[in-house]
Amino acid sequence: MNVHFLRRILAHVTLPLLCLATFTPLVQAQIPTPIVWFRADTLVTKTDSGFVESWKNLGSGGGEAVASGAARPIYAGSSIGGKPALIFNGTSAFMSAPSVFPVNADYTVYAVVRNTTVAGANNILGGASRTIWLNSSLSPRVLHNGDFAHQVASGVTLPSGTGIIRVRYVQGTKTVSIHVNNAKGEEGPIPANPDPTMFIGAYASSNFFSGHISEILVFSKALSDNEITNIDQYLHTRYGIYRTPPPEPPLVQLNNPPRAFQIYPLAPAAMRKVDLSGTTLVDGIDSIKIKRNYFGVTYYFGGPLNPSRGTTFKYEFVADTIQQDFEIYVRRSGAWTQVLNAPSILAGIGIAVCGQSNSIFGGALDGIGNARTIGSNFQNSRADTAFKLAMCTGNGGDANIGAWPMQLARNLALFDRYPTLTINGGVGGTTIEQHYPDPDDRMNVNTIYGSWLYRVEKSGMRSTLEHLFWYQGESNNGEGYADKFDKMYQAWHEDLPNLKHIYVIQIHTGCGGEGHALLRDMQRRFKDKYPDVEVHAASGLPGHDGCHFATDGYKALGDQVYRLLLRNQISKVYEEDVESPNVRSATYTNESRTDVRVTFRNVKRGISFTPSFDYAGKLRTPTEGFLVNDSVGKVTNVTTDGNDVILTLATPGSASFISYVPDRYYADTAVVFQGPWIQNQNGIGAMTFRVTVDGVSSVADDAATAAASRTGLVVHVGEPLPWEGSHLWYALDGSVVSSGESIVPSLAPGIYVADGRLVCVIP
């Protein structure tokens, strides 16, 4: 802006008392002319009842914003800082402004706003495919080209809904930065903007803003720091809004300093070095002092430095499972200044968790100091990367890691003195497809996968992380789930180069869609397909409410997977059974073919059933857990014999397939199946299954044999098999081979090709 422009504006201003003093910083700084400048104290046309019909653009783009009928905002003579504003109702009010927003070019936008209702889209300055909005929060975000998957969201919120939002976009790097009251909230990549249209208080003439807007400025350039300082001074002074001071220029540049509460990977010492090296950025720094607290003892390091700017220094320590605190001070002109404060530094085990609500659901468990996380669960702010004490009081967001991961972390800390860094990317109600990575941007923080992977990267554990838990499936059905999981499996191994152990939690009956019996059986078979996958059943856990678990259930799951992780982490050998029993085979045991013996693996000390119990008006017994050829009520008696279960059939010789646990409900009810359950003597539930009788359910117990035999598939044993309705043939890896026929053909033993897959018929 220049003096001539200011004079031109003043010539058109109808308010005679407009104060020239408020514009002094703009005049002195020679600020470039804004193309859009709406200010609520001038050039507003309104009705006697206060409905605003037009708002003159003071900027070089000219024109005016207009509204009519129910779209008209209401004029308020005193609002933000006692200055006028236009009030938008969040349901219909918005104004159409001139279509002069910069296209495929740099820009800077200021908006002085007060949001009155968080719920809703709350678009402040939108277009047909571009907007600055709040999205049911107080965190501003920027959208370009209608690409919601690549928008940028601020990590800084509007205090009490009121503040000055600044958005600065650089076309050359396609990077946008968001500030609130001069506090930096976010800087990240975003697509170019092809949209010149402008709506005040709306996006695409809808998705309205609820609150007050006092002033909007749009510049067709990325303003310099000096220009921003002067415009900020004008706006913050005018509206009496506190401006967050910019950070003081640093005295030193630290190369890779530790951060408060950081967990380094529990890896070889060379990979967990605490780096306290750096370079001085100003002249006159003549000494450095390192303060290290370790095992309750304080040590000091350091000494004289060359006082010339650019002097380097280097100190290194090794992170340990015992807490260390680090501080760095430098002396300049006789005064000591702290340049680093990094308390509570540890080395520990990295744990990744992904999935839907049961992966992140909270419970009444206290956190523990050695259980940490980084950033917030499913956040899309790149600025949210602080290390935090983990918690599990909520069902996602913030530092929540979930109840059973918290119990896992507590056990590792209390019994084995292992600190943990748990990075949980779980989001409730999500399908597996929603967890896919963005193929063009693996760390797109607007995706579930990218948000999680970005936190893994920022944690410093990406190259060393060995353990990943997957608890998902309730929002999917069985069709194609194995192929979808394979996509996730490949992505994890692509992005986590040292991943060694993947733990799949076989879902419980209950919430979600249909086809879960098939999906659970696919999950069960992952152990045979993938040599680094372990499958653990959620069946038999206490406190299930039909979808989630009470704290006791999650606590039990945390205790169970703790043993699996510790076995893999330190090769711990357990005398008791720590894995979920998994079916090995189902075979007829007598000539009359009245009994079927179901044999289990992953069990040494025998299995049993949880007690029968009264539930939903009926005594629930083990017979209700078994299906013959996908039909219930075909088993008259169930007993156990060591590691086996013996089933007595209602019709001799009728079983070609045996299933354990119905798809979702007890027979002929809408009551979620809750047992009785098969458990080992350690109280761990068996995996649910669907297997052929006189066939085999899996290729082998050991991973090496399994990996070499992944094409194996059991269809049936060579006899015609009538089915009720359609059916699926499915492989040991869980993939669907064929569907929709009423009769399975009689096939001789051998290898076949069905729908492009190898089919193995075993006599």
Tell me 747's DSSP state: -
Where in the sequence is the domain holding 661, given as residue range(s)?
Answer: 582-682
* Rounded percentage of the chain residues whose pLDDT exceeds 70: 87
Give the pLDDT mean for 15-32: 44
**pLDDT at 710 > cutoff 90:** no
Last residue of a domain, one of 207, 239, 271: 239
d(CA 715, CA 741): 13
Summarised one tens digit per residue, pLDDT across range 8-20 is 443 333 332 233 3
pLDDT at 476: 95
Residue 244 Cα distances to 167, 181, 337, 385, 733, angstroms: 16, 6, 22, 20, 57
Residue 527 Cα distances to 308, 486, 564, 584, angstroms: 61, 12, 14, 13
CB 443 within 8 A of CB 454: yes
Instruction: Kindly state whether residue 15 falls inside one of the protein's structural domains.
Output: no
Instruction: Kindly state whether residue 754 falls inside one of the protein's structural domains.
Output: no
Summarised one tens digit per residue, pLDDT across range 79-98 is 999 999 999 999 999 999 99
Last residue of a domain, one of 647, 682, 717: 682
pLDDT interval class at 269 (50, 70, 90): confident
CB 578 within 8 A of CB 650: no
Looking at residue 447, its amino acid is T
**pLDDT at 446 > cutoff 70:** yes
d(CA 158, CA 139): 7
Summarised one tens digit per residue, pLDDT across range 549-574 is 999 999 999 999 999 999 999 888 88
**pLDDT at 739 > cutoff 60:** no
Summarised one tens digit per residue, pLDDT across range 500-543 is 999 999 999 999 888 999 999 999 999 999 999 999 999 999 99
268 and 306 co-located in one domain:
yes
293 and 273 co-located in one domain:
yes
- Closest to 653 measured CA to CA, from 739, 719, 740, 750: 719
634, β-bridge pairs: none
For residue 440, what are the contacts with CB-CB under 8 A and spacing of at least 6? Answer: none
Does residue 5 sit in helix, strand or coil? helix
Number of folded domains that form the chain: 4
**pLDDT at 716 > cutoff 90:** no
* Rounded percentage of the chain residues whose pLDDT exceeds 90: 79
CATH number of the domain bearing residue 423 = 3.40.50.1110
514 and 409 co-located in one domain:
yes
504 and 550 co-located in one domain:
yes
Q: Which residue has the higher pLDDT, 372 or 270?
A: 372
Instruction: Kindly state whether residue 175 falls inside one of the protein's structural domains.
Output: yes
Give the pLDDT mean for 110-133: 97
Give the pLDDT mean for 451-456: 97
Average model confidence (pLDDT) for the chain? 88
Instruction: Kindly state whether residue 124 falls inside one of the protein's structural domains.
Output: yes
110 and 163 co-located in one domain:
yes
pLDDT at 30: 63
CB 269 within 8 A of CB 318: yes
Q: Which residue has the higher pLDDT, 654 or 459?
A: 459
Determine what percent of the chain falls in helix, strand and coil, rounding each to the nearest 5: 20, 35, 45
Instruction: Kindly state whether residue 113 falls inside one of the protein's structural domains.
Output: yes
CATH number of the domain bearing residue 143 = 2.60.120.200
Instruction: Kindly state whether residue 725 falls inside one of the protein's structural domains.
Output: no
- Pick the range with the lowest mean pLDDT from 32-36, 337-341, 536-540, 718-722: 718-722
Instruction: Kindly state whether residue 359 falls inside one of the protein's structural domains.
Output: yes
pLDDT at 749: 53
182 and 282 co-located in one domain:
no
pLDDT interval class at 190 (50, 70, 90): very high
Dihedral over alpha carbons 21, 25, 29, 31 (to 10 degrees): -90
CATH number of the domain bearing residue 306 = 2.60.40
Does residue 235 sit in helix, strand or coil? helix
d(CA 309, CA 114): 45
pLDDT at 380: 85
Task: List the beta strands (DSSP E) in 77-182.
Answer: 85-89, 95-97, 107-115, 123-126, 131-133, 141-143, 152-153, 162-170, 175-180
For β-strands 533-537 and 467-471, DSSP reports them as unpaired
pLDDT interval class at 31 (50, 70, 90): confident
d(CA 599, CA 647): 11
Q: State both tokens at 583.
A: 């079916």
513, β-bridge pairs: none
Is the peptide bond preceding residue 98 cis, with omega within 30 degrees of 0? no
Give the pLDDT mean for 638-648: 96
516 and 382 co-located in one domain:
yes
Burial of 448 (0-12, 13-18, 19+ CB in 10 A): buried
- Closest to 404 measured CA to CA, from 471, 449, 359: 359
d(CA 186, CA 176): 8
d(CA 444, CA 150): 7
**pLDDT at 730 > cutoff 70:** no
Last residue of a domain, one of 183, 209, 239: 239
Summarised one tens digit per residue, pLDDT across range 323-366 is 999 999 999 999 999 999 999 999 999 999 999 999 999 999 99
383 and 433 co-located in one domain:
yes
For residue 463, what are the contacts with CB-CB under 8 A and spacing of at least 6? Answer: 271, 497, 498
Summarised one tens digit per residue, pLDDT across range 228-246 is 999 999 999 999 999 999 9
Instruction: Kindly state whether residue 16 falls inside one of the protein's structural domains.
Output: no
Summarised one tens digit per residue, pLDDT across range 420-430 is 999 999 999 99
pLDDT at 639: 96
527 and 617 co-located in one domain:
no
pLDDT at 289: 98
513 and 411 co-located in one domain:
yes
Tokens 């037009």 belong to residue = 54
Cα end-to-end distance, the chain, whole Å: 87
100 and 221 co-located in one domain:
yes
524 and 428 co-located in one domain:
yes
